Chain A
Amino acid sequence: MTPETLAPAKVAAPRPSHQKRRARAAETRAGYGFLTPWLIGFFLLTVGPMAASLYLSFTDYDLFGAPEFIGLENYQNLFDDPRFRQSVVVTVTYVVIGTPIKLAASLAVAMLLNAKRKGLGFYRSAFYAPSLIAASVSVAIVWKAMFIDDGIVDQVLSLFGIRLGGWVGNPDMTMPMFVLLAVWAFGAPMVIFLAGLKQVPQELYEAAEMDGAGKTRKFINITLPMLSPVIFFNLLMETIGAFQIFGSAFIISGGTGGPAGSTLFYTLYLYIRGFTDFKMGYASAMAWLLVIVVGIITVIFFRTSRSWVHYAGDSK
């Protein structure tokens, strides 16, 4: 996009006429005019606050007094804070376990839906629906009610002789409960996978069949490589999204991150530090650490993508 749009300016006559220069100035004015809302939002609500939180992360600030500069103390304290370490462990566990399961489920169902059969529209809508509401307070309340002691999950499992009791109050079972909630929202990446699957040229499969390739071979040698840009997109977005889980954790744990810190997700702890304990500097340090980690993950994803993401042909 960049080279083509810039090229004509260079090719244009060496000395643009007065009229042309005026037209270009008008064009620039129009551009910035249309972009004004975004520019204000970008600088006042994104760049400015980012700079401010970077500064605050080096201060001790409780919202009422003036911020007091303390250098790297917040960052040093983070690593001595067992609750912070707990929140990192909880969040990383959730991201590392939940995201692959969610993506595998969404790819599997997308492949089932990529067929020529009746009723596909209905199934697609039914599977997609939960992802619209999974992050809502309503669903968090339902989830909590389903997974408490003697709740329906407990009842159904005990039919099979599995007696786990309530998941909500059991520090070992809260993570599976949150992973299930994440997996339940498999519909959004599924729809994206499905759109990707429809783009895979049918001839590739036919050619592979001629060569006697079985289903597994076709999946590994055709489906996965052809789908790799979509897999990359879903993996990146779902991973970054998973780091930011907040509402469900807040509701299910009653805003505490309990039991025994097992639902103390990163953003929940950030909220507690900032808006319950009024440690705004500390919370800002946490926020920046999250930005840095997400940034590093994004870079790693893009770097490694060169070796496993295949873009068909040379289109764009």
Chain B
Amino acid sequence: MSTDTVAPTRMSAEDSARLRQTNKRRSRVGSVAYHVLMIALACVVLYPALWMLMSSLKPSSDIVGNVSLIPENGSLQNYITALDGIGGVSTLTFFQNSLIVAVLSVIGVVLSASVSAYAFSRVKFPGRNLFFSMMVATLLLPFHVVIIPQYIVFNNLDMVNTYWPLLLPKFLATDAFFVFLMVQFMRGLPIELDEAARIDGAGHVRIFSSIVLPLMKPSLITASIFTFIWTWNDFLGPLLYLKQPDLYTLPIALRLFVDQTTVSDYGAQMAMAVLALLPVMLFFFIFQRYLVDGVSTSGLKG
């Protein structure tokens, strides 16, 4: 390539014009090949999701083994079946339950992670570095080591079949990822702002609430979106703590639905699967930028 660009000086004007044209053509061919490859890859990657979406519009007999995405006689019948719910509970109730858990979790994470991050990044006190490294260590800790004792405690407190076991950890900043994310973000904010405010007589509560908190909006949004999606998709927590169908969130309701509907009713299963992912897809389309940036700057997983 480098020799091509050096060559023209030694060539006639006619030759160099021809060369420029072939180069252009070659790069256009390369560009077409690139996009063909990428679109093909995107089709393969998105196919399972599209297949789910399209299958939900097909009659059950036409799903298994049908590679085609276009429904021949599409209808919303599957969604009517799916919305009926399971065990005498409407799917709208599951939806509402999931929404309650997800929204309260978001509030919990935003509140608890932001104040913890403030302590770690803006206040000097003995023990801070020790606790900070412990917080980072919990990032790598397999969650399963705490579920059994947590279950025993929540069971003894009669909190099984309530949302407390799912929500309490969110309000107590146990999602170290978000604390870490916010600490990283806060460290990027100029400390001079705090100093100026302190000269004006502001204490930590004032500095936190009226200076730092408004400035860290991007990291709050990232944490909120991920918390919403993760709690919305969470399976193990609700599986452990929710035993009454009218309290079920969508993932475990979906599991019950699949277990109890006749094996062949794939249509309704697909419709319910789509419904269970609807808010996640919506969030993805609206907040793509925040999601991708959140992943690339802090290494949050999807």
Contact = CB atoms under 8 A, between A and B. Distances in A.
B151 to A, nearest CB: 8
Interface residues of A, number: 99
Contact of A27 (B2, B48, B123, B251): B123
User: Interface of chain B, helix or strand or loop or mixed?
Assistant: helix
A72 interface: no
A290 B142 CA distance: 7
Contact of A195 (B208, B280, B291, B297): B297
A137 B52 CA distance: 13
Interface string B128-139: 110100110010
Interface string A112-147: 100101010011111111111111111101110110
A31 B235 contact: no
Contacts, number: 277
A250 B129 CA distance: 39
Interface string B32-59: 0011011001100110110110010000
User: Interface of chain A, helix or strand or loop or mixed?
Assistant: helix
Given A38-B112, A287-B144, A152 B66 contact: yes
B13 interface: no
A240 B169 CA distance: 21
Interface stretch (A13-21, A46-54, A77-85, A306-314): A46-54
B140 A240 contact: yes
Interface string A9-49: 00000000000000000011011111101111110111011
Nearest to A198: B296
Interface string B242-283: 000000001110110011000000100110011011001000
A250 B254 CA distance: 13
B190 interface: no
Interface string B161-184: 000000011011110000100000
B214 interface: no
A63 B155 contact: yes
13 contacts: A31-B125, A34-B118, A37-B115, A45-B146, A45-B174, A123-B41, A126-B42, A127-B41, A142-B270, A145-B63, A152-B65, A270-B144, A274-B147
